[in-house]
């Protein structure tokens, strides 16, 4: 079946090491859209962190954010689909992290909440202007409803040790995804990119065989399994590359452009 929807992870996939969409990649995406193919982003980032790239590539399908927990159209103020963490779980998590002195932020709608703001932890957000961070101090228990995702941060590279503790404490409620060494996304166990992507595909009337998913990391594995075409760049994790139906050059070698040219534009 022909590919009718392309879902693109951002970091390590669509973006090169400079966090840029290259001209060749942008041209390939525009050519795919001209053929009637839907193009979306599927990322662990919150919507505001993804929307800037959605606008840049002219995404013509709603964006999949928070590791599949949110599907929202560019320019919208409300999501089409959202899956939230239970408030009681969020409160217990925040209380524990505060007692341990661990830095965590969480997303409600299009805002980032923290007990106190420390810009050193938000280096990855340099592409986002007017970062919507709300520091709530000791009142954090009042901001635990409708939480889409929490992010545990550690600048010493020990975030993996901390997420193991959290997963043991909340075995039925929290899993860690997208472990970068300095941060990890904390989501509900049933939330992954395949959840958001399958919801979007069904909304568009598409079968998995008509979907092309592109990703390189641990939080991309579910959507790579779901999609009929799984594109993984050369820089991808071994676990991601094992799922690939198409092995692309790296994200610094226009890998996504090459894949689109070969699989969609031929």
Q: Domain map of the chain by residue range?
A: 5-81+192-263, 87-187
Question: Residue holding tokens 């209380």?
Answer: 95
CATH class of 5-81+192-263: alpha beta
pLDDT on residue 124: 65
Residue range 87-187, CATH number: 3.30.1240.10
pLDDT on residue 132: 79
pLDDT on residue 127: 58
Strands (E), 96-235: 103-108, 111-114, 133-135, 147-153, 175-177, 183-187, 211-214, 229-233
pLDDT on residue 128: 58
pLDDT on residue 130: 67
Successive 10-residue mean pLDDT values, the chain, 266 residues: 96 96 98 98 94 97 98 95 96 96 95 90 67 90 96 93 95 91 93 98 98 97 98 98 98 98 96
- Which residues have CB under 8 Å from 71's CB, separation 6+? 62, 63, 64, 65, 79, 80, 81, 82, 196, 199, 200
| pTM assigned to the model | 0.94
Cα(82)–Cα(59) distance, integer angstroms: 19
Torsion of CA 193, 195, 201, 205, to 10 degrees: 180
């Amino acid at each position: 079946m022909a590919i009718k929807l392309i879902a693109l992870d951002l970091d390590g996939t669509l973006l090169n090491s400079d966090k840029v969409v290259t001209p060749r990649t942008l041209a390939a995406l525009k050519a795919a859209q001209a053929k009637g193919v839907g193009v979306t982003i599927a990322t662990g980032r919150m919507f505001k962190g993804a929307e800037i790239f959605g606008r840049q590539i002219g995404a013509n399908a709603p964006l999949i954010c928070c590791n599949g927990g949110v599907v929202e159209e560019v320019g919208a103020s409300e999501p089409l689909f959202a899956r939230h963490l239970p408030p009681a779980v969020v409160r217990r998590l925040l209380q524990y992290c505060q007692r341990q002195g661990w830095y965590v932020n969480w997303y409600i709608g299009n805002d980032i909440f923290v007990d106190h703001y420390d810009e050193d932890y938000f280096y990855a957000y340099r592409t986002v202007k007017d970062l919507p961070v709300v520091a709530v101090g000791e009142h954090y228990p009042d901001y635990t409803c409708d939480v889409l995702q929490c992010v545990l941060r550690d600048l010493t590279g020990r975030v993996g040790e901390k997420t193991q503790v959290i997963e043991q404490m909340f075995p039925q409620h929290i899993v860690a995804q997208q472990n970068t060494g300095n941060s990890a996304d904390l989501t509900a166990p049933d939330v992954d990119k395949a959840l958001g992507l399958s919801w979007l595909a069904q909304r568009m009337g598409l079968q998995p065989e008509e979907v092309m998913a592109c990703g390189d990391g641990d939080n991309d594995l579910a959507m790579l399994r779901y999609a009929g075409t799984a594109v993984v760049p050369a820089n991808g994790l071994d676990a991601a590359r094992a799922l690939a139906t198409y092995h692309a050059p790296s994200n610094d070698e226009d890998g996504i452009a090459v894949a689109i040219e070969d699989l969609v534009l031929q």
